[in-house]
Structure 1
Amino acid sequence: MASIETKSMDSPDETRTPDKTAVNVVHLGDASVARLTVQPGWRWSECIKPLVGTESCQATHLGYVVSGRMHIAAADGTEADLGPGDTYYIAPGHDAWVLGDEPAVALEFESKTAATFAKA
């Protein structure tokens, strides 16, 4: 493997496009990074749940919000709003939705999630 590897999110290795969702994924060495773009009206339980078939999102998320806003509601009752500049760790067992009329864009750094989120 080269000592430096770069790729553009504008030319991803993989793209997934479930309802109101775009996930662009690049693979760098043993890691994967995803850019998640979700449109106004997006909600995990409506747009991704039918694809994956679980009652709540079972992915672990580690990321950074580039733009837009999202609300996260965990099964344990914890809730949070995320906006531009926020970093986050979200454990499995949650729902999420876009707040407002602007798409939410986030970078996901948890390699397994980047490689599998919104994939049948």
Structure 2
Amino acid sequence: MSVSSKSFDEPDEQRTPPKTTVDVVRLSGATVARTTFQPGWKWSECVKPVVGTDSCQARHVGTLVSGQMEVEHEDGSTATLRPGVAYVIEPGHDAWVVGDEAVVGFEFESAETYAKA
């Protein structure tokens, strides 16, 4: 058995759309991203121009460690994400930072492709 680890302070890749930082580390058999969204961030304003879809088409599996985010799905359902709660967000949504604190989280399923042209 082996162990694979890397620091998010020295990511394999960094993506920086407006008000967004995605630090990507590639491990043995897995890719993980640390996402940081600054106050005022909204997917439809900051990431949509990069990916060119009407709504976010990524499936997200992750957790937040700081800040608060609101997610609105195309079907009208909404959720408020807070630190310490694991989530799955299906494709077809918009999201935005709530309040004046940056949102920092970790993504496991969409890490390889999120916010990538």
What's the TM-score once normalised by structure 2's chain length? Answer: 0.97
Q: Secondary structure at the match of 1:45?
A: helix
In 2, Cα distance between equivalents of 1:94 and 1:106: 17
Could you list the per-position Cα deviations for residues 12-34 of structure 1 after superposition, in whole angstroms to 9, with x for gaps in the alignment? 11100000000000001121000
Unaligned 5+ runs, structure 2 = none
Unaligned 5+ runs, structure 1 = none
Displacement of 1:79 after TM fit? 0.2
Say whether 1:115 aligns with 2:94.
no
Say whether 1:67 aligns with 2:45.
no
Could you list the per-position Cα deviations for residues 43-71 of structure 1 after superposition, in whole angstroms to 9, with x for gaps in the alignment? 00000001111000000000011000000
Aligned to 2:81: 82
**How high is the sequence identity, in percent, across the aligned residues?**
61
Q: Secondary structure at the match of 2:112?
A: helix
Displacement of 1:3 after TM fit? 1.1
Q: Secondary structure at the match of 2:111?
A: helix
Aligned to 1:16: 15
CA RMSD of aligned residues (A): 0.9
Q: Secondary structure at the match of 1:26?
A: strand
| Residues matched between the structures, number | 117
Aligned to 1:106: 105
Which structure 1 residue ranges, 4+ long, deviate > 3 Å from structure 2? none
